[in-house]
């Protein structure tokens, strides 16, 4: 049984009282203390079109307590990728629901039950490099 | 003024080689290098209602098409308890006890609310914060 930990450290001086928050979780299977034991590895994909496509296909994963990490590895403050949940443009049907934009250097980490695809739309057709990993 | 978030994912035995990822993001306004300027602060809420799709964050409260960031954690210590998180009509996933998430939040309209569904009505503690423009 593998042991995987994910930690976040958030620091902010927006308000007068500084926020310093650290949270560490051990990634386990749904409703269990058994560790998640499968991974895509840290994948890297380069996008060169402003096209709405799948980044992670739900068909490749089982429902469960999966965790997803996605990072826009670029450095541009104006170029971004939009991450959404649902059908991509070619799939048709109900359009994917946008979660948000990852600008250069931004990352996201979230639980994913594997029920719908995770899609991506780059803002520019010049190379956008995205790192991502699913731990399931 | 700055807000940063660092993620570290580690495992010695998930793959043949040790896994170690560390990445720091600085929360800036959309399309700029100017830091986000507002926050809800870190909210601590205890849920005693297991109703489905309870509104946690309104999709229009913090601007539209901007670079907001959201942090949510399930502070329960019972491994069987979870918090279902949905973005608008899309089911995202379940935060089990101790799990946390950080996402960018587009907030394009009211249909983009973040809703939660606690699995139990027995005092589930939740922590959340929004950082926005």
Q: Report ipTM for this prediction.
A: 0.97
**Average pLDDT, whole number, for chain B?**
94
Q: Per the structure block, which two tokens stand in for B31?
A: 């399309």
| Average pLDDT score, chain A | 95
A93 confidence band (pLDDT: 50, 70, 90): confident
Q: Convert B45-68 to b/e letters by CB count within 10 Å (16 or more is b).
A: eebeeeeeeeebbebeebbeebbb
The pLDDT of B35-46, averaged and rounded, is 96
pLDDT band at A95 (very low <50, low <70, confident <90, very high): confident
Name which of A82, A78, A123, A100 is nearest B64 in CA terms: A100
Alpha-carbon distance A78 to A59, whole Å?
Answer: 33
Q: What is the model's pLDDT at position B108?
A: 82
pLDDT the model gives residue B107: 86
Task: Say if A124 falls within a structural domain.
Answer: yes
* pTM of this prediction exceeds 0.90: yes
- Flag whether A83 is in a domain: yes
| Domains, chain B, with CATH or none | 38-132 (2.60.120.10)
Q: Which residues pair with B26 in a beta bridge?
A: B4
Where in the sequence is the domain holding A47, given as residue range(s)?
A: 38-135
Q: What is the pLDDT of residues A8-57, one digit of tens each?
A: 999 999 998 899 999 999 999 999 999 999 999 999 999 999 999 999 99
Q: Is residue A62 part of a domain?
A: yes
A7 found inside a domain? no
The whole-angstrom separation of Cα B100 and Cα A120 is: 22
Is the pLDDT confidence value at B66 over 90? no
B26 vs B60, which has greater pLDDT? B26
What total number of domains does chain A contain?
Answer: 1
Among the partner residues A10, A14, A69, nearest to B37 by beta-carbon distance:
A14
pLDDT at A73: 97
CB contact under 8 Å between B90 and A19, yes or no, is: no
Buried b / exposed e across B72-91, counting CB within 10 Å, b at 16+? Answer: bbbbbeebebbbbbbbbebb
Instruction: Identify the residue whose tokens are 């901007």.
Output: B66
* Average pLDDT of span A77-100: 91
Task: Flag if A7 and B28 touch (Cβ within 8 Å).
Answer: no
Q: How far is Cα A67 from Cα B4, in angstroms, rounded to an integer?
A: 21
Closest C-alpha among B11, B102, B63, B111 to residue A70: B102
pLDDT score of A1 more than 80: no
Query: For A4, which residue in chain B has the nearest alpha carbon?
Result: B11
Give me the mean pLDDT over the B54-65 stretch: 88
pLDDT in tens, B90-109: 999 999 999 999 999 988 88
Query: B75, B100, B105, B107: which to substitute to probe chain A, counting the most A Cβ within 10 Å?
Result: B100
Out of B10, B89, B104, name the one closest to residue A5 (CB): B10
Rounded Cα distance, A133 and B23, in Å: 13
Q: How many CA atoms lie within 13 A of B5 on its CB side?
A: 28
Three-state DSSP at A96 gives coil
The CATH number of residue A129's host domain is 2.60.120.510
Is residue A69 one of the residues assigned to a domain?
Answer: yes
Q: Is A110 a residue whose pLDDT tops 90?
A: yes
pLDDT confidence of residue A122: 98
B82–A31: do the CB atoms touch at under 8 Å?
A: yes
A22 in a domain, yes or no? no
List residues bridging with A66 in a β-sheet. Answer: A112
- The reported pLDDT for the residue numbered B15 is 87
Q: Which helix (H) or strand (E) holds B91?
A: strand B90-96
pLDDT of residue B64: 80
Backbone angles phi, psi at A59, to 5 degrees: -65, -20
Closest-approach residue (CA) in chain A for B42: A19
Percentage with pLDDT > 90 across chain A: 90
**Which residues of chain A neighbour B11 with C-beta distances below 8 Å?**
2-5
Give the distance from residue B60's alpha carbon to the nearest chain A alpha carbon, in angstroms: 13
Contacts of A63 (CB under 8 A, 6+ apart): A113, A114, A115
Contact yes or no for A116 and B26 at CB 8 A:
no
Asked if the structure places residue A16 within a domain, the reply is no
CA distance A109 to A9: 13
Q: With an 8 Å Cβ cutoff, are A112 and B13 in contact?
A: no
Q: Do A31 and B39 touch (CB under 8 A)?
A: no
Task: Evaluate the CA torsion angle A8, A13, A14, A20 in order and state its sign.
Answer: positive
């Amino acid at each position: 049984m593998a042991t995987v930990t994910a930690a976040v450290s958030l620091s902010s001086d927006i308000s007068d009282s500084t926020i310093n928050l650290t949270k560490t979780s051990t990634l386990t299977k749904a409703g269990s203390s058994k560790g998640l034991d499968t991974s895509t590895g840290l994948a890297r994909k380069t996008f060169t079109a402003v096209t709405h496509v799948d980044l992670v296909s739900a068909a490749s994963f089982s429902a469960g307590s999966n965790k997803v990490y996605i990072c826009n590895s670029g450095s541009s403050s104006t170029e971004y990728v939009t991450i959404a949940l649902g059908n991509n443009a070619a799939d048709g049907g109900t359009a994917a629901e946008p979660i948000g934009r990852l600008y250069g250097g931004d990352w996201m980490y979230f639980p994913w039950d594997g029920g719908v695809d995770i899609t991506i739309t780059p803002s520019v057709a010049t190379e956008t490099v995205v790192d991502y990993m699913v731990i399931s | 003024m700055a807000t940063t978030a660092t993620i570290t994912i580690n495992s010695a035995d998930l793959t043949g080689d040790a896994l170690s990822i560390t990445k720091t993001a600085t929360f800036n306004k959309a399309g700029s290098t100017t830091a986000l300027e507002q926050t809800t602060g870190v909210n601590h809420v205890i849920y005693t209602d297991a109703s489905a799709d309870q509104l946690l964050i309104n999709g229009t409260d913090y601007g539209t098409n901007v670079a907001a960031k959201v942090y949510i954690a399930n502070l329960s210590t019972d491994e069987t308890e979870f918090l279902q998180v949905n973005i608008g009509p899309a089911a995202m996933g379940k935060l089990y006890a101790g799990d946390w998430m950080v996402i960018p939040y587009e907030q394009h309209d009211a249909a983009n609310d973040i809703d939660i569904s606690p699995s139990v009505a027995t005092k589930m503690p939740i922590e959340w914060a929004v950082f926005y423009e």
